[in-house]
């Protein structure tokens, strides 16, 4: 469900015409719908009502300050994976007591910053990281609140690049290691055991892997209790999928329903780290057709957005629906590739897609681009990163300026011997 709809044949974000945004801020631009973001957050949070649950938005999915602030104002926390995301979350007004910190490679300075801020939980991913955090906390004279991220070895049945809970993945610790490391953590002076965590992957379209992972974690929690260790927090990560094309992912209620019984039985405080499901369908990438091109074997729509703006199609083979801004009933369709200006064959937004016969100057919306869209964008081919716009009813605002050419070169200099 989202609020991008045709009104009198023109595509709108809530009550604002996308043509108006294109005119004012140019293209390409990301456009987000606040009503959609709010609705997704509330539906997700409501699904877990009745449990002691904290929704920590996975900031990496979309780091825009307006979005992180919106979720904070709705009662959300943040799941962060770097010192930069800690900075962003705090700047956006997320309470430190609602921040959880995941990731296999936390640096000492990043750990120290998070300890000073007073975050809720560190999800530890290796024995060595655990020792380093103990030392960093010792230097600061504090105790670090920790959880071990368990790798439950369940198959999330998603794209290989976004599955994280298989034994061969770099994430977390296997069950036996996790159990041993909880015993070790209990003996370290500057750690306080607070939780048990997992995160098995992204864009999951079935509740089974979540339920399987929870069962394995529950087994660990019970074994830990037998050894006198009773973590109070159960962090089940993120990963709930969305509809890009024909997928039928579980609704938040189904997802919560599959977990509730076990969580209640354990009597722990639940932490969830949803990213994509909150923001994915709340954003589009607005782009303009630069050229239509026909070769002997193919048709191309060359648009002004490219893989540096939205890398998901080339990186994950992802499908994004493409909608024309203007509906023209009766217009012939044709199969075409939608490609960008970048000098890479991998630069495409859609392949072999049946689309209306669009013309130079027409606007397109690349749908479901709110998650891992702008956040994964780069300056490749010296393309300034695009503007981000937030729509709220009839109002809209630029929430990140389009970069300038000066921005592109910031920080570069010649070495003294070339002066």
Ligand X SMILES: *Cc1c(COP(=O)(O)O)cnc(C)c1O
Q: Return the range that interacts with ligand X (CB under 6 A); candidates 6-14, 213-221, 273-281, 378-386.
A: 273-281
Smaller CB distance to ligand X: residue 195 or 238?
238
Alpha carbons 105 and 279: distance in angstroms, whole number: 25
Interface with ligand X includes 249 (CB under 6 A)? no
Asked if 61 is part of the footprint of ligand X (rule: CB under 6 A), the reply reads: yes
Vertex 365, ends 363 and 369: CA angle to 5°? 150
Residue 278 CB, nearest distance to ligand X (Å)? 8
Mark the segment that binds ligand X (CB under 6 A) among 2-10, 232-240, 252-260, 404-412. 232-240
Q: Among residues 115 and 198, whose Cβ is nearest to ligand X?
A: 198
- Give whichever of 22 and 277 is closer to ligand X, judged by the CB atom: 277
Distance (Å, whole) CA 106 – CA 83: 8
Is 102 a binding residue for ligand X by CB under 6 A? The answer is yes
Whether 209 and 254 have beta carbons less than 8 Å apart is answered as no
Where do we find the tokens 């540096």? 308
Q: Is 85 in the site for ligand X (CB under 6 A)?
A: no
- CA angle, 153 then 154 then 159, to 5°: 110
Question: According to CB under 6 A, which residues from 350 to 409 bind ligand X?
Answer: 371
- Residue 233 vs 387, nearer CB to ligand X: 233
Contacts of 258 (CB under 8 A, 6+ apart): 207, 210, 211, 250
Q: Name the β-bridge partners of 283.
A: 32
Which residue from 21, 25, 53, 58 is in contact with ligand X, where contact means CB under 6 A? Answer: 58
Of residues 64, 141, 51, 59, the one with CA closest to residue 390: 64
Interface with ligand X includes 152 (CB under 6 A)?
no
Position among 28, 152, 274, 373 found at the interface with ligand X (CB under 6 A):
274
* Nearest Cα to Cα of residue 166 among 96, 220, 216: 216
Q: Which stretch binds ligand X (CB under 6 A): 188-196, 210-218, 258-266, 271-279?
A: 271-279
Residues 6+ apart with CB under 8 A from 109: 83
DSSP assigned state of 326: B
Q: Does 239 bind ligand X (CB under 6 A)?
A: yes
Alpha-carbon distance 80 to 103, whole Å?
A: 8
Closest by Cα among 67, 71, 93, 90 to 80: 90
Note if 343 is an active site residue: yes
- Cβ proximity to ligand X, 139 vs 167, nearer residue: 167
342 backbone dihedrals φ, ψ, rounded to 5°: -75, 145
The contact pattern for ligand X, residues 194-223, with x = CB under 6 A and - = no contact, is: -----x--x---------------------
Positions marked active-site:
343
Residues that bind ligand X (CB under 6 A): 58, 60-61, 79, 81, 102, 199, 202, 237-240, 273-277, 371
């Amino acid at each position: 469900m989202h609020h991008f709809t045709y009104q009198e044949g023109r595509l709108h974000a809530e009550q604002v015409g996308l043509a108006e945004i294109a005119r004012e801020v140019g293209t390409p631009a990301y456009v987000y719908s606040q009503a959609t973001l709010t609705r997704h957050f509330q539906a997700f949070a409501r699904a877990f009502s009745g449990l002691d649950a904290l929704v920590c938005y996975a900031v990496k999915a979309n780091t825009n300050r307006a979005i992180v602030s919106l979720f904070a104002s709705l009662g959300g926390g943040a799941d962060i994976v770097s010192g930069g995301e800690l900075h962003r979350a705090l700047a956006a007004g997320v309470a430190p007591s609602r921040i959880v910190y995941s990731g296999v490679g936390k640096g000492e300075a990043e750990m120290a910053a998070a300890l000073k801020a007073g975050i809720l939980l560190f999800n530890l991913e290796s024995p060595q990281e655990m020792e380093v955090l103990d030392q960093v906390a010792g230097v600061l004279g504090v105790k670090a609140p920790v959880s071990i991220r368990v790798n439950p070895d369940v198959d999330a049945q998603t794209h290989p690049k976004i599955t994280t809970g298989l034994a061969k993945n770099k994430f977390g610790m296997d069950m036996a290691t996790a159990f041993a490391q909880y015993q070790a953590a209990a003996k370290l002076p500057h750690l306080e055991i607070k939780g048990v965590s997992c995160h098995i992957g992204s864009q999951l379209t079935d509740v089974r892997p979540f339920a399987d992972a929870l069962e394995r974690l529950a087994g660990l929690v019970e074994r830990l209790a037998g050894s006198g260790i009773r973590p109070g927090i159960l962090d089940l990560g993120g990963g709930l999928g969305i509809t890009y094309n024909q997928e039928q992912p579980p609704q938040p209620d189904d997802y919560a329903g599959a977990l509730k019984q076990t969580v209640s039985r354990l009597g722990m405080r639940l932490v969830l780290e949803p990213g994509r499901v909150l923001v994915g369908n709340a954003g589009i990438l607005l782009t303009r057709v630069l050229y239509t091109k026909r070769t002997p074997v193919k048709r191309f729509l060359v648009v002004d957005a490219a893989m540096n703006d939205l890398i998901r199609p080339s990186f994950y083979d992802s499908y994004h629906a493409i909608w024309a801004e203007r509906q023209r009933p009766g217009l012939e369709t044709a199969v075409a590739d939608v490609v960008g200006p970048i000098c890479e064959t991998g630069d495409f937004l859609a392949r072999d897609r049946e689309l209306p016969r669009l013309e130079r100057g027409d606007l397109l919306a690349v749908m479901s681009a709110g998650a891992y869209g702008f956040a994964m964008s780069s300056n490749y081919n010296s393309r300034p990163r695009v503007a981000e716009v937030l729509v709220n009813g009839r109002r809209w605002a630029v929430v990140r300026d389009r970069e300038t050419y000066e921005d592109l070169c910031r920080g570069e200099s010649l070495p003294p011997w070339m002066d």
